[in-house]
Amino acid sequence: MRYPVPARRHRVEESIRRSRFITTVSPAPDPDAAQEFMAGIRAEFPDATHNCWAFVAGPPGSTAAVGMSDDGEPHGTAGRPMLEALLHSGVGEIAAVVTRYYGGVKLGKGGLQRAYSGGVRLALESLPTTERVDRAALVLEIEYAALDPVRRLAADLDVVVRDETYTDIVRLDLHLPQDVVDGFHNRVSELTAGKARVIATDQ
């Protein structure tokens, strides 16, 4: 599976009717990472009126590992709108905290929902992303004559060669995208006339 994830932590800020809203977005590969990030934001802004948060610690749109908090705002006005914005963003493994400094003007329930979801959407508009790729680990044993063709094949299929060992054969330690495993096996078999040995590993 391939999908976009945040490339790094990202922050935007806006003022709405004298309240200051600071939205920080971060990678969240799992719920523990999301919780650690959110604790860091609370420590960074301990004097804020609210630090509301939401996270999707999985593929885009997946609700298997999600969380949210209104952090003292009226129920359903912050965490839920933020989570909905994340779930519909097309980005996975993402956490967001919207830090609010109250400016003295009440926004009402609808205004709060728009402010918190809008902060997340504003951050998403300029969020740098990278592609998350599920990878399989394989060890490939080939003859020396097949080394250059296999290296070219690896480059074409985004296969990472992590290590190479040379004895009477060449042993390659590979990390390859899960979705090209079968195609890689077939192409290697063709290139080596079926003489290659492929070993799956757990690393």
Cα separation, 122 vs 107, whole angstroms: 18
For β-strands 135-142 and 160-166, DSSP reports them as unpaired
The tally of domains found in the chain comes to: 2
- Do both 103 and 193 map to the same domain? no
**Same-domain status, 59 and 116:** yes
Indicate the pLDDT class of residue 201, thresholds 50, 70 and 90. low
| pLDDT surpassing 60 at residue 166 | yes
Among residues 106, 131, 156, the one where a domain terminates is: 131
pTM to 2 decimal places? 0.73
Predicted confidence (pLDDT) per residue in 6-59, tens digit: 999 999 999 999 999 999 999 999 999 999 999 999 999 999 999 999 999 999
Looking at the fold, whether 140 and 103 belong to one and the same domain comes out as: no
* Start-to-end C-alpha separation, the chain: 18
Residue 142: both structure tokens together: 């080939």
Bridge-based pairing of strands 2-6 and 66-69 is unpaired
